[in-house]
Every structure is written in C-alpha cells, then in structure tokens.
Amino acid sequence: MQVTRRDDRLEITLADNAAGGDFELLLPLARGLVGLSLIPHHPVGEDGYFMLLLAPGAADATALRRDLVAVIDISGSMSGEKIQQARSALIQLLGTLREGDRFRLVAFSGGVRRYAEGWTSMTADARPDAERWIRSLEAEGGTNIAGALTEAFAQAPAEQSLGVVVFLTDGQASTGETDPERIAQSAEQNRGRFRVFSFGVGDDVNTYLLDRLTERARGTTEYVRPGENIEQAVGTLAAKVASPVLTDVTMTASSGIELYDLQPGNLPDLFAGDEMVVLGRYRGVGSGEWSVTVHGRRNGRQEEFRTSVGDRENTDARYIEQLWAARKAGALSREIRLRGQTPELMNSLKQLALRYGILTEYTSYLVQEPTVALRREAENRVMQAPAAAPAEQAGAGAVGRAAQDKSMAGAMRLDAVTVVNGMEIDEFRRARSGINPTQRVGGRLFILRDSTWTDLGHGDSLRVVSIAPYSDAYFAVLAALPDLREVAALEPRVLMAGKHVSIKIAEGGKTRWNPGELERLVREFRG
C-alpha cells in the first residue's frame, strides 16, 4: 500500500504489484493530542502479543521549542557533489526552525569550526547570515569526529526545549582521538538531554561508531549509499522533527499486567505526521479488559493517554507474532554488531530463529542440510565466538548489514521477516545449494527433511510422540491444542516442536490415548 498525506487528506492506494484480496485498515483516531489503537493476540497456553499504534492529532507546532545543533563533515573526501548536497541539506534544516527556536552550526575537518560561540536565536536577520556561513564551507583536510562531537554537546539545550543534534559524515576519524569505542563512550557521557540523529554518507563510514552514537539517544542512523541524495535524506528528518508532540515516551499497563520485550526497546519521541508502532509481549491477564497508558512530556508537563481492549486469541492477528519476532531479531543482530557475539546474545537469536523462522546471517545454517556433526560444529562455532566489537566496521558490507538490522528492527511488512544477509528467502534458496524446501505455517517455519515437514524448533533432545492422522488421538490432540490445527494438515508427515516434547503426525502413530496421557502431553508441549 502507498499512503500519501495531502493537507487534511490521507490518500491510500494499492501498489501496482499488490496481490488481490481483503485487507484491514487501522486508523487510530486522534480526537485530542494522541490517538491510540491496541490490538492483542493471546495464543492458547502462552503469553500474549500486542501491537500499539500511536497517531498524533492536530498539535500546536509552536508549543515545544527546539534547540538544534547541525554538525557537518567538510573533510577532503566531501568535495564535489557531496559538499554541495550537504550545504543544501543544512540550509533546508535551518528552514524548519521557527522564531523562538535556537541553533548552533558546527563544521569539522582536521579542526573544528563553529558559526557562533553559543546559541543563536532564530530571527529574520539570523537566518540569511547563517545561510551565508554554510555556503562558504569548503571541503579540505582530515576528519576530527571526536572534536566535532565535543563541540556539539558543549552547550546544553534549554530545560523546556527539545535538544536535537544532527551529525553528518562520510568518513572515519583520522585526526585527534581515532578509536571508535573511546569516541562513542565520550559522546555518551557528554550527550546530556540531546537526541542524536546520524547520517553516514557513502560506504567508508564507521557503522559501529554511528550506531553507537544513536543507540540510547532516542535517535536513528541513516545510511546514504553512493549515488543517493544527501539533501533528500536530511530533508525527511527535518520534516519529521519540525513538530514535536510528545517526548520521553514510556508505557505502562493496568494493574497485574506486565509488558515486556517491547520493540523498539527505547521508545522514540512522537512527532506530528509520524505515527509510532510498538510491538511487545504481555502476561498476567486473567480475563476481561486490560489497558495500556502512554506517558510523555510536553512543555514540561506530564501527559497521559489510555486505551483499553478485551483479552482474546485473535487468529486474524497472527502477523503480530511475526512482526514482533522480526523486530526483536533486528535488535539482537544490531546488539551483536555493537557488543560482539556473546553466548547469551547468540542463544537468544538462535531460539528466536527456531521458534519463528527468522533467518539472519548468524542463523542461516539452521536451514541447511549438512551432516549432524557439521551442523553442530557450525552451531558451536557461532555460539563460542568471543565478545568483541565487530572487526569489519566500514565498507559496503558493514553498511549493508547496519541498514538491514535497522530495517528488521522496524519491520512492518511480513515479506521483510525471513531474510539472510539482506536477501529474501527465495533468493537465498536460489543462491545457496543444500537448502531443502521450506514453508511458514501457523507462525512456524518448516523444512522438508526425509519426507517430513520438520519444525525448525525441534531438536534431538526432544522426545517425539507420533500420532496417526485422522484417528481419535489426532482429533483429541487438536481439540486440546487448537493452535496446531493448521500445521497438522501438512502432508505427508509433520513434526511440531513444543517446549519439552515434539508431536509428529504420521502413519503408524498412536490412535487412542490412555487415561491421563493426553493431559501430560499438553503440559509438556506447552511447557
């Protein structure tokens, strides 16, 4: 679908390649400052999933002041078209400021330059003078990233203002402090209340450093690949941050309900015209209604918005499981890039891949068909990798991985869920040999092995209970585990993984249950 805003209209059209069929359109109605829509999905026997949509309503754009710091790389590698686009991008960024907002301009190469000593209030006279300073910038010299960041954070934003740092570079530190880890640590210590938005231009940027700068700063990193337009990328951000609605956003649930594994983990600020989508898990619901409250700050005041929903299994919302899993996989992959391959992180990503069929560069071996020994060797090699910052922090591969992690961490489309190194699964099948047919059913990924559709979550340590298809035992187990009905129809045989036991539907299996046998199976399957 394609969504276009035109004044007070929202135009929605199907893309040219869209498949036919019904679809459900969710429009949170913002009668006040923020509109909320909460969609739950509570599968039988496990914690629930939810999707929360936040849509800002008509907000007073002048209500929240902004203190903006624009930091631009003018090293020698920025010469030519890059510096021209960067200058235009900064002028465009200044154009979004209103009277009462303040700004600082910082340019860096081997040294650091600033437009003025402190903050400059945006006035009719200040704007053209600042634009002249920007147009005078020329590309030359090295890249002093540490010095530029120190200058960017030198003047704190006002107490009642939204502080934003926009940092743009096309290279790696070559002057002053050059160690990415020390630069990132220093920036985190000095950042204060600033939000940080980074732009990496080209493939020679240090993705580790740029992602560390925005990791906890309620911002994002955008990568402008060779040939792409810098001005357009920065302009999109400029339009977004022009009208802050709610900052320091957090969520709580009604008494007795626990929300966990929120994606994104750190909720961003909410801006006019930029809906927020949060996915997560919940537990503690007995029956009936429960509610979610969104908290945030506006002009120094705490604001709250609440919505309620009835707890239920919602089979039409199974997609929420997959979107949540895709976002979590993207967040874990990013954490692995920034923190190294610890056994805890790798095991979390592996279990997610097995349960939801999320394939990444770290788990692609799970759908290959080597011998059991080679398969375990590959798994152990990944699980035992030492914790360290990534060796490859720059280059086209590093930029591609960073962009892919960001795409998965913000996934809102199911066709972006199953990926390997940025490829769709069908492309992956064609590109690699030794891959058996796979298919996703009921939120699980199955691979065809020995004429049996095998759940990727099944391991050799799990006991297997075989059940004859269409027997009394078959219909009884599907009545007890109704979420397996769609999966059980796979032919010729199917093996479904549970917590402590797997269930196989195949000829020659059980036809009847002894007293207490089915109850025990359900307990072990649910865990």
pTM, 2 dp: 0.73
> Do 102 and 120 meet the contact criterion of CB atoms below 8 Å apart?
yes
pLDDT digits (tens, 9 = 90+) for 27-66: 766 566 788 888 888 887 788 899 998 888 665 545 678 9
User: Distance between CA atoms of 195 and 206, rounded to whole angstroms?
Assistant: 20
Give the contacts of 42 (CB within 8 A, at least 6 positions apart): 48, 49, 285, 311, 312, 313, 314
Q: What would you measure as the largest C-alpha separation in the chain, in angstroms?
A: 87
Residue 228: Cβ within 10 Å count: 13
4: confidence class by pLDDT, cuts 50, 70, 90: confident
Residue 30 is predicted with a pLDDT of 58
- What percentage of the chain carries pLDDT values higher than 70? 84
Residue 163: Cβ within 10 Å count: 21
84 — alpha (psi -120 to 50), left (phi > 0) or beta?
A: alpha
Which CATH number applies to 65-240? 3.40.50.410
- What percentage of the chain carries pLDDT values higher than 90? 30
pLDDT of 464 higher than 90: yes
Q: Which of 94-103, 263-272, 421-430, 512-521 has the lowest mean pLDDT?
A: 421-430
Residue 435 is predicted with a pLDDT of 52
Phi and psi of 359, rounded to 5°? -100, 125
pLDDT digits (tens, 9 = 90+) for 496-511: 988 889 999 999 999 9
Q: Where are the domains of the chain?
A: 65-240, 317-435, 437-527
Q: Which of 109-113, 120-124, 350-354 has the lowest mean pLDDT?
A: 350-354
Q: Radius of gyration of the chain from Cα atoms?
A: 26
